[in-house]
């Protein structure tokens, strides 16, 4: 048996048991694909650009003891935004993530000295953005209000 024939046979022998293992566990490829789509599914921001919601321990773990909830919104180049996040239950942080996943802007505490967050930014590229609501460190979970406002330029 040549080395090449052994390699082909080896790949096939590995593939078949893995396939059988997945199917014998009761998971079809369609079920696995559906499960992977549920791993990350940001919530579309309503057309009012406002939401009252609850951050819970079922949301995205931040790795710092807290949790995050993501909202998806389409923004246009040149949009000037104010993103206001308030909660009486946890110290909030709001983050705006760009279409490529990079952090565009972030705010921890608002200018009023509270633990609420207020972020001002200008959009430089049209696309789908993520507004991430999260708690600071291990400060917890609870209800919050999020509002994205498109500011009008002064004329």
| pLDDT tens digits along 42-93 | 999 999 999 999 999 999 998 888 899 999 999 999 999 999 999 999 899 9
Residue that is written with structure tokens 């998806």 in the block: 72
What pTM was computed for the model?
0.73
- What is the C-alpha to C-alpha distance for residues 61 and 43, in angstroms, rounded to an integer? 16
What pLDDT, on the 0 to 100 scale, is given for residue 7? 46
Beta strands in the chain (DSSP E): 43-44, 50-55, 60-61, 67-75, 80-86, 92-97, 103-107, 117-122, 127-135, 142-151
Other residues' Cβ atoms within 10 Å of the Cβ of residue 95: 21
Higher pLDDT, 20 or 26: 26
pLDDT at 138: 74
pLDDT at 39: 76
* Cα 98 to Cα 89: distance, rounded to the nearest angstrom: 27
Highest mean pLDDT among 18-27, 34-43, 53-62, 125-134: 125-134
């Amino acid at each position: 048996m040549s080395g090449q024939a052994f390699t082909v046979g080896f790949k096939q022998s590995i593939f078949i048991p893995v396939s059988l293992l997945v199917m014998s566990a009761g998971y079809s490829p369609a079920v696995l694909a559906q499960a992977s789509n549920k791993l990350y599914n940001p919530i579309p921001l309503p057309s009012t650009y406002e939401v009252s919601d609850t951050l819970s321990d079922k949301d995205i773990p931040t790795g710092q003891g807290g949790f995050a909830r993501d909202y998806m919104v389409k923004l246009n180049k040149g949009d000037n935004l104010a993103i206001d996040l308030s909660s009486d239950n946890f110290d909030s942080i709001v983050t705006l993530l760009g279409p490529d996943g990079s952090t565009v802007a972030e705010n921890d505490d608002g200018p009023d000295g509270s633990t609420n967050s207020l972020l001002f930014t200008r959009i430089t590229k049209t696309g789908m953005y993520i507004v991430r609501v999260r708690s600071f460190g291990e400060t917890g979970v609870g209800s919050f209000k999020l509002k994205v406002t498109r500011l009008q330029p002064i004329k």
